[in-house]
Copies of this chain bind each other. A is one copy, B any other.
Amino acid sequence: MIFVRPVEGLPEIREGDDLGALIAERAELLDGDVLVVAQKVVSKAEGRVVRLDEVEPSAEARELAAGGDPRRLEVILRESARIVRTRPPLVIAETRHGFVCASAGVDSSNAPEAGTVVLLPEDPDASATRLRERLRELAGVEIGVIVSDSFGRAWRQGTTDVAIGLAGIRPLLDLTGELDSAGYELHATVIAVADELAAAAELAMGKTSGIPAAVIRGYDASGDGSARDVVMPPERDLFR
């Protein structure tokens, strides 16, 4: 049995907040738990917020904006390694971490105030590692941590939450060579466990309820890796 429990009662997160301590006070954690934290609050605690009135849009940003706010597009361009697709004002970009997502992860919903946008963490694996270490220190527990974000997908509507940063987690479960229940060998069966954990946590969090974290108990995802392991090498990607 797997339990997904929301972390309730967190205050609005601001730059410099000790997110680990705020979670430790509100979540009952046990060894082996997986803590999933929405990127938005991690970014806010890390000060990854940009005031649009301090942004000077480039010519490229003005062109991409097509009636939208060119300053927002300028921030997206700065966060992008490359622009993958555009249909103004929508932009799909590859972030500097390698993730392909809308607006390079730059988001104005749930921003701390009007006129600001929130960026992805600079290094989401490092954010997860810091949270994991802080919770070990405060609660004496050995847990896995996932930083999640809501990504759109090719071919399918709607977003699902995925892992953009992790620590103490095996992101992919490779069953290649194992036997199925009938004794046949499974071929090329790799399960994106970290993304499934992020998706399960989203169900308990909710975008409008202001619950940005959840604890999953009863699933052993412990291991090592990086959320960048989940990025598909272009030469192997038949789905794009």
Contacts and interface: CB of A to CB of B under 8 A. Distances in A.
Nearest to A216: B203
Contacts of A162: 156
Contacts of A87: 238
A184 B110 contact: yes
A165 B156 CA distance: 14
Interface stretch (A46-54, A55-63, A121-129, A174-182): A174-182
A92 B4 contact: no
B239 A192 contact: no
Given A85-B239, A175-B208, A195-B156, A182 B4 contact: no
Contact of A157 (B100, B184, B207, B232): B232
Given A184-B110, A204-B2, A208-B181, A230 B157 contact: yes
Interface string A68-90: 00000000000000000111001
A99 B179 CA distance: 27
A230 to B, nearest CB: 5
A154 B239 contact: yes
A137 to B, nearest CB: 27
In this complex, the member of A85, A189, A191 whose beta carbon has the largest number of chain B beta carbons within 10 angstroms is: A191
Interface residues of A, number: 74
A16 to B, nearest CB: 18
Interface string A181-223: 1101111011111011101101110011110000000010000
A141 interface: no
A92 B237 CA distance: 11
Interface of A: 1-6, 12, 85-87, 90, 92, 99-100, 102, 108-114, 150, 152-162, 171-173, 175, 178-182, 184-187, 189-193, 195-197, 199-200, 202-204, 207-210, 219, 229-232, 236-240
5 contacts: A4-B4, A92-B239, A110-B181, A158-B191, A160-B192
Given A150-B189, A200-B203, 5 more contacts: A153-B153, A160-B160, A180-B208, A196-B199, A197-B203
